[in-house]
Structure 1
Amino acid sequence: MGTGLLALAAGLLALGFLPVLPPVWLLLAMSVVGLMLLPFRTHPVAFFLFGFAWACISGHWALDDRLAPGLEGQTRWLEGQVSGLPEQGQGVVRFELQAAQARRERLPRRIRLAWHDAPPLHSGERWRLAVKLRRPAGLLNVQGFDYQAWLLARRIGATGTVKAGQLLRPARLAWREGLRQRLLDVEAQGRGAGLAALVMGDGSGLTRQDWQVLQDTGTVHLMVISGQHISLLAGVIYLAVAGLARWGVWPERRPWLPWACALAFLGALGYGLLAGFDVPVQRACVMVALVLLWRLRFRHLGVWRPWLLALNAVLLFEPLASLQPGFWLSFAAVAILLLTFAGRLGRWRWWQAWSRAQWLIAIGLLPPLLALGLPISFSGPLANLLAVPWISLLVLPPALLGCLLLPLPHVGEGLLWLAGGLLDGLFRLLGVIAGAWPAWVAPLLPWWLWGLSALGALLLLLPSGVPLRVLGGPLLLLAFWPPEPVLHEGEVEVWQLDVGQGLSMLLRTRDHAMLYDAGARVGDFDLGERVVLPTLRKLGVRQLDLMLLSHADNDHAGGALAVWRGIDVARVRSGEPGALPAALQAQPCESGLGWQWNGVRFRLWQWSAATDGNQASCVLQVEARGERLLLTGDIDVHAERALLASALAVHTHWLQAPHHGSRTSSSMALLQRLRPTAVLISRGRGNAFGHPHAEVLARYRRLGLAVHDSADQGALTLRLGTFGPVQSLRAQRRFWRD
């Protein structure tokens, strides 16, 4: 049975690694073959085929429920019901619409929408909305957050922006919405949003600073409804019944163990319903149910079989759960605890078990965090050593009891005030820890080095006395000193990051690095902080010799301040230094300035007669072994005409499309003089400006230029000085990517 469970899990987990999904007819044939093999000794193969076929068929259903390509970018009137709790942001409300219907088109069952300056929205309401629809898409950078995979895992088939709306039917039973509002309004010493996250799993009210503190200290799991919270409540109920039975208070006619397990599961299920019963909550409830069932009837089967049963149960219920990082981290953490405590000789004291568990979880989760590209908190063991019992024993009980007793005047509010104060004290303590030890973003690791570090972590988790365990530490430390990229004299590595409607390019020689533009900042979403900085760290860039901001427009310089704060920047230059934040201390572009780094030549140019910011863009020419790249910012045809009279108007192999390919740029005169072989376009998919313009694309095609577009290909990279091809991240196929 154990091998069958392992084979079933392997088949279900294989989904996340597929570049394309097999056709349905082949999956049905696999199922038939599995049925034929089931009576024989090859039943593990049959279980693998069942799991693989079911996961892939589920993936097909999710892909088939996405928005039709013909509706991309169109505005349609549709009707649907608000699902879950709407997320309140800075001037925008994000929410999900389920059972969406339109008169003439078939729509996905779930759509994620954003509504700027929206009226009050409540869960369960039915609305008629005018929506500009988009197919699921997201930015694609080096080991960055895969928004498209996240949407598919939640079975969201489209996104969109609401233009207008009309309420058709108010919510009937909006008790979760009402409870959240009570938590946000109650006097909780400024931590009402934190209580809403802790009690209901709604973290939309937490500030960006709060999330950063949680990330730096490795305590994000404490502020979302996770297996820890649900298992804690189930454990309290179980222990309460067991204590009553031990003290002789429990009725003798009712066996205490079945009642303890049943009441504990009901408590966990009720907490899950309070939290909205999303996929992570469902996973936690399934695991609690199996643990209680194991305690009740199947303790003789050992501890690993319930873990495998829970893994398979979650994946059979929702095969796409494996596309979410939380799935891997939660099951890995439980596996580490089982490996740590199961089968050990002797007993640890409670304080030894608690402290060692934190350090061993930190070691064991290091390989999955590296594989997923997530930040690693060195202060996590210490922070969790304090924060887990603080939340579990001091904050959560009065928070839940306060919600239950809110109908009683002053009683519920008082308990929530106490819980909020305790939570605020914890955040202050975590802030001090985060300031001393911020999270670390590990550079990219080759697969063989990751495998050695994972082996080292496994050896360290094994009991003392195991042969070769002493090698665990050195092998694990290899992850912290990855090999540097090999860049020869006269070569420069160029990265065009995927920052949506904006621009950010990294240029790195053997000993130097510079950033050309830093992406945009829109409200509280700073692409410099969310995309540029993590990518720099992931690529192993520790400092910038120069940050060159072409001009001060938000889509080029909005993220500059976050980059400047997050990494050592020796110098900042810009075509509009006076329009940038004073903290950057930006210097002017200095047209004609040139320098060399490791045999690579750089030269600046700016139109002296510019009348606006776009025309004033600081243009950069890079030449490596005779291969040239020209970065043009947002210059228009007038600035292009002036550029033709400069020393930069020579044959250029790679051209960054001026002004994202707008109609007022990329003149035929410029293209004929430069004679580029390829054009790099950085823009947002379905942007409101219509970039790149159809006339400009036709001009590129007429001249036979290769067009590389970040909206279609994600981040792009090339090695200037080798005359090699450009590489795109979207070429690394995954079945959910268009």
Structure 2
Amino acid sequence: MRTGMMALAVGLLAPIFMPALPPVWLMVLLAVLALMLLPFRSYPLAFLLFGFTWACVSAHWALQDRLPVALDGETRWLEGRVVGLPQNSDGVVRFELADAHSRHGKLPSLMRLAWYAGPPVNSGERWRLAVKLKRPGGLLNPDAFDYEAWLLAQRIGATGTVKEGQRLGEARWAWRDSIRQRLLAVDAQGRGGALAALVLGDGSGLSREDWQTLQDTGTVHLLVISGQHIGMLAAVMYLLVAGLARFGLWPLRWPWLPWACGLAFAAALGYGLLAGFDVPVRRACVMVGLVLLWRLRFRHLGAWWPLLLAFNGVLLLDPLASLRPGLWLSFAAVAVLIFTFGGRLGAWRWWQTWTRAQWLIAIGLCPVLLALNLPISLSGPLANLLAVPWVSLVVLPPALLGTLLLPVPYVGEGLLCLAGGLIDWLFRGLALIAGQWPAWIAPSLPGWALAIGSLGAVLLLLPRGVPLRPLGWPLLLILVVPPRERLDAGLADVWQLDVGQGLAILIRTRHHALLYDAGPRFRDFDLGERVVLPALRKLNVETLDLMLLSHADADHAGGALAVARRLQVKQVISGDPPGLPAELNAQACESGRQWQWDGVSFQLWQWADAHDSNQRSCVLQIEANGERLLLTGDIDKHAERVFLQGPLNVATQWLQAPHHGSRSSSSMALLKALKPDAVLISRGQGNSFGHPHPTVIARYRQQGLRIYDSVEHGAIHLQLGAFKPPWTMRQYLRFWREPPLSSH
């Protein structure tokens, strides 16, 4: 049966690695085949087919619940009910709308909406809203967070922006939102948002600095993901009953073990209900339930059995949970502990067990974090060594008790104030640690290096004295210092990153790196911090020799500060230095300036008589082995006319679309003079500017240009000087992604 359970797990996981889902007729055939195999006792194969079929069917249902293509980009009036806990940050209200309906067509059962400068929105309310709808999508960059996969795992079938609306009904059954409002209103040393995260699993009240501190110290799981706290409460309840029975204080007519397991599971479910019972909480409750069942009846089967059952149970309830990094991290952490502690003959003292567990988990999770493209906290073992008992034993009891006693005057608020002060001390300590050891974003690893490093981690988890165990350290070191790929001299590696309505292009030669524009920053979204900086780290860029900001508009230079603060930048040049923060110390663009890096030529141009920031864009021409790329910023047709009178009016194979394909740019005179083979467009899906304009696209097609659009292709990778077509992120097929469109 254990082999059958393992086969079931493989079947449930298989679809996430597939480029496309099988057709419905094939899934029906596989389900019938699985049933036919059962009488012949071919359980592993039958379970494998059953798990695969169920996961594919679940994915099909989620994909069919997406917004129809005909409604993509349309504004529609709709009605629905607010669910979950709405978030309000920097004047933007974000919330999820369920059971939405419209007279103009069927809508997804769940949508995620944003309302800029909107009124307060509370859980349980019914609203009538005018929404600009979008199909699920996200930015696609190398080894980056896949927002489209996250939306599918959440079963969110559409996103949208609210234009206007009116409340139709007051909140009903919104007790979690009421508790959150009470927590935020309590005088908790300014840590009401952290209390809401700890008690309700709602992290919207944490500041950006708080999130960065938690990430740098590897302690995000302590405040937002409530699985550990659920397990802790269940353990406290179990140990309480066991202790009473040991000292003869438990009624003899009640068997203490069933009662201990039952009360522990009831405590886990109660906290899960308080925390919203979302996927991480459901996963924790399933794991706690199976561990208690194992303790009650099946202890003789070993510790791996409940872990395998819990893994399959979670995936059977929600096969798309495999798209969530939290699933892999939580089960991997438990597996590391079982593997390391189960294989040792002697017992450690409690302090040895606690300290060694932190280091063993750090080693065991290192390959998992790298495979999931997540940052690695260098201070995680030390921070968790102190923070886990502090939160679990010191902060959580008064926080939960204070929440339950909020109706009692002074008592509940007093306990919450105490918990808030304790959390504040925690954050102060974590900030000191994070300041010394920030999180490390590792460069991309080839599959063979990840496999060797994983083998090294497994060897290090073995008990001392096992042969070949010391070999684990050099093998693990491959994950930290991977082999680097060096470009040939005379070639330039170009990445147009997918940053939405903005621009960020990385150019690397054999020994140098240049960033042309740094992505946008709009309100609370800094794409320089969220996309550009992690992409540079993943592409193994440790130093920028030059950050060239075409001009000072927020969609081109908004992310520059975030990049400059976390990465060494030797020089900053801009076409509009006065419009940039003084901290960047930007120098003016010198028209005609030329230089060479590793056999690749660079030259700048700027219109001396420009009238606005767009026209002042600093233009960059790159030439490698006779193949040219022209980066134009936001120049318009007037600047283009002057540009054609200069020395850069030469045949250019690659053109970055001026001003994102605006109607005021990409004149026919420019296209006929440069004779480009292809054009690169960087823009946001459904942007309010209408970029690229249909007349400009028609102009490109009239000239026979290949069109590479970030919305349709994601990040675009070009090796200048090789005269080869580019590689795009959407060529890396997954069943939840729209396939890449034609580049013609």
Query: Which residue in the other structure is 1:304 paired with?
Result: 304
CA shift, 1:504, in A, is 0.3
Deviations 1:175-209 (A, max 9, x none): 11111011101011111110000000000010000
Match of 2:287 in 1: 287
Structure 1 residue 169: Cα displacement: 1.1
In the TM superposition, residue 373 of structure 1 has moved relative to its aligned partner by 0.7
Q: 1:199–1:225: 8 Å Cα contact kept in structure 2?
A: no
Question: What amino acid does structure 2 have at the position aligned with 1:223?
Answer: L
Structure 2 match to 1:173: 173
Distance 1:596 1:107 in 2: 55
Alpha-carbon distance in structure 2 between the residues aligned to 1:325 and 1:76: 34
How much has 1:226 moved relative to structure 2?
A: 2.7
For the residues of structure 2 that align with 1:544 and 1:278, how far apart are their CA atoms?
Answer: 42
2:236 — aligned with what? Answer: 236
2:83 corresponds to: 83
Q: Which amino acid aligns with 1:274?
A: L
Equivalent residues of 2:200, 2:274 under 8 A apart? yes
CA distance in 2, matches of 1:55, 1:710: 30
The 2-side partners of 1:484 and 1:647 are apart by 37
Q: Secondary structure at the match of 1:423?
A: helix
Q: Counterpart in 2 of 1:516?
A: 516
SS in structure 2 of the partner of residue 190 of structure 1: coil
Task: Please report how far the alpha carbon of residue 34 of structure 1 lies from its aligned counterpart in structure 2 after TM superposition.
Answer: 1.1
Q: Can you list the C-alpha shifts for 1:77-105, whole angstroms capped at 9, x where unaligned?
A: 11111000001111011000011111130
Could you say what secondary structure the match of 1:38 adopts? Answer: helix
Amino acid at match of 1:540: N
Q: Give matches, 1:419-568, under 5 Å.
A: 419-568=419-568
Query: How many pairs align?
Result: 738
How far apart, in 2, do the equivalents of 1:200 and 1:633 lie? Answer: 45
2:62 matched residue in structure 1? 62
SS at match of 2:203: coil
Compute the TM-score of the two structures, normalised by the length of structure 1: 0.99
8 A contact 2:202–2:224 mirrored in 1:
yes
* Deviation of 1:43 (Å): 1.7
Structure 2 counterpart of 1:86, one-letter code: P
| Equivalent-residue separation in structure 1 for 2:480 and 2:298 (angstroms) | 42
Contact persistence 2:607–2:639 (CA under 8 A): yes
Shift of 1:172: 2.2
Q: Indicate whether 1:27 and 2:27 are aligned.
A: yes
Pair 1:690-2:664 in alignment: no
- Give the C-alpha shift of residue 409 in structure 1: 1.2
User: 1 CA distance for matches of 2:88 and 2:357?
Assistant: 37
Deviation digits for residues 4-38 of structure 1, max 9, x if unmatched? 00000000011211110001110111111111122
Which region of structure 1 is more displaced relative to structure 2, 341-350 or 609-618?
341-350
Cα distance in 1 for partners of 2:51, 2:174 equals: 38
1:151-230 aligned at under 5 Å gives the runs 151-230=151-230
Could you tell me which amino acid in structure 1 is paired with residue 51 of structure 2?
G
1:439-480 Cα shifts (integer Å, max 9, x gaps): 000001110011000110111111223222121111000111
1:135 aligns with 2:135: yes
d(CA) in 1 for partners of 2:106 and 2:128? 16
The residue matched to 2:471 in structure 1 has which SS?
helix
User: Aligned pair 1:579/2:579, yes or no?
Assistant: yes
Q: Secondary structure at 1:344's aligned position in 2?
A: coil
SS in 1 for 2:94: strand
Does the alignment pair 1:362 with 2:362? yes
Distance 1:183 1:342 in 2: 41
**Which range moved further: 343-352 or 527-536?**
343-352
2:414 is matched with 414
Deviates more, 1:727-736 or 1:33-42: 33-42
> Structure 1: how far apart are the matches of 2:600 and 2:397?
63
Which residue number corresponds to residue 399 of structure 2?
Answer: 399
Deviation at 1:343, TM superposition (A): 3.9
Structure 1 range deviating more: 458-467 or 403-412:
458-467
Matches within 5 A, 1:101-140: 101-140=101-140
Letter in 2 for 1:658: P
Cα deviation for residue 627 of structure 1 reads 0.3
Deviation at 1:577, TM superposition (A): 0.6
Contact 2:573 2:587 in 1 (8 A): yes
Q: Contact 1:142–1:538 (CA<8 Å) still a contact in 2? A: yes
What residue in structure 2 maps to residue 344 of structure 1? 344
CA positional deviation for 1:217: 0.4
1:636 aligns with 2:619: no
2:372 maps to a residue whose letter is L
Q: Distance in 2 between matches of 1:46 and 1:682?
A: 48
Residue identity opposite 2:163 in structure 1: K
Cα pair 2:226 2:275 within 8 Å, conserved = no
Instruction: Identify the residue that residue 144 of structure 1 maps to in structure 2.
Output: 144
SS of equivalent residue, structure 2 residue 434: helix
**3-state SS of 1:39 partner:** helix
Which residue in the other structure is 1:656 paired with? Answer: 656
Give runs of aligned pairs for residues 717-736 of structure 1, distance below 5 A: 717-736=717-736
CA distance in 2, matches of 1:147, 1:67: 16
Cα root mean square deviation, aligned: 0.8
Task: Give the residue type in structure 1 aligned to 2:68.
Answer: A
2:519–2:527 Cα contact (<8 Å) kept = yes
Tell me the equivalent position of 2:741. Answer: none
2:672 is the alignment partner of 1:672: yes
Displacement after TM superposition at 1:123 (Å): 0.8
Letter in 2 for 1:330: S
Structure-2 separation of matches of 1:639 and 1:444:
39
| Runs of 4+ in structure 1 over 6 Å off | none
**Cross-structure match for 2:601:** 601
1:737 aligns with 2:737: yes
Structure 1 residue 41: deviation in Å? 4.6
Give, as a single letter, the amino acid of the residue that structure 1 aligns with 2:211: W
Q: How big is each residue's C-alpha offset from its partner over 1:232-272, in whole Å with a ceiling of 9 and x where there is no partner?
A: 01111111111111121211111111111111111100100
Alignment of structure 1 residues 93-108 onto 2, 5 Å: 93-108=93-108
In the other structure, the counterpart of 1:589 is 589
Amino acid of the structure 2 residue aligned with 1:493: D
- Kept after mapping to 1: 8 A contact 2:93/2:120: no
Q: Show the counterpart of 1:11.
A: 11
Q: Deviations over 1:541-561 (max 9, x none)?
A: 010110000000000000001
Shift, 1:336, TM fit: 0.6
- How many Å apart are 1:230 and its aligned residue? 0.3
Counterpart-to-counterpart distance in 1, 2:630 and 2:603: 10
Secondary structure (helix, strand or coil) at the match of 2:188 reads coil
Q: Tell me, in whole angstroms, the C-alpha distance in 2 between the residues paired with 1:184 and 1:614.
A: 44
Return 5+ residue gaps in structure 1 as ranges: none
Q: Note the C-alpha offset of 1:307.
A: 0.4
Is 2:198–2:226's contact at 8 Å kept on the other side of the alignment? no
Residue type of the partner of 1:372? L
Distance in 2 of aligned mates of 1:599 and 1:704: 30
1:300 and 1:226 map into 2 onto residues whose CA distance is 29
Query: Offset of 1:486 from its aligned partner?
Result: 2.3
For residues 291 and 344 of structure 2, the distance between their equivalents in structure 1, rounded to whole angstroms, comes to: 20
Tell me, yes or no, if structure 1 residue 627 matches structure 2 residue 627: yes
**SS of equivalent residue, structure 1 residue 346:** coil
CA contact 1:225–1:275 (8 Å) conserved in 2: no
> How far apart, CA to CA, are the structure 2 residues paired with 1:337 and 1:24?
41
Question: Paired residue for 1:46?
Answer: 46
The separation in 2 between residues aligned to 1:316 and 1:226, in whole angstroms, is 21
Q: Distance in 2 between matches of 1:294 and 1:14?
A: 28
Deviations 1:41-80 (A, max 9, x none): 5321111000000000100000000000000111111111
Q: Distance in 2 between matches of 1:190 and 1:361?
A: 32
Following superposition, the deviation at residue 563 of structure 1 comes to 0.7
When structure 1 is superposed on structure 2, of 457-466 and 549-558 the one drifting more is 457-466
Give, as a single letter, the amino acid of the residue that structure 2 aligns with 1:606.
Q
Structure 1 letter corresponding to 2:367: P
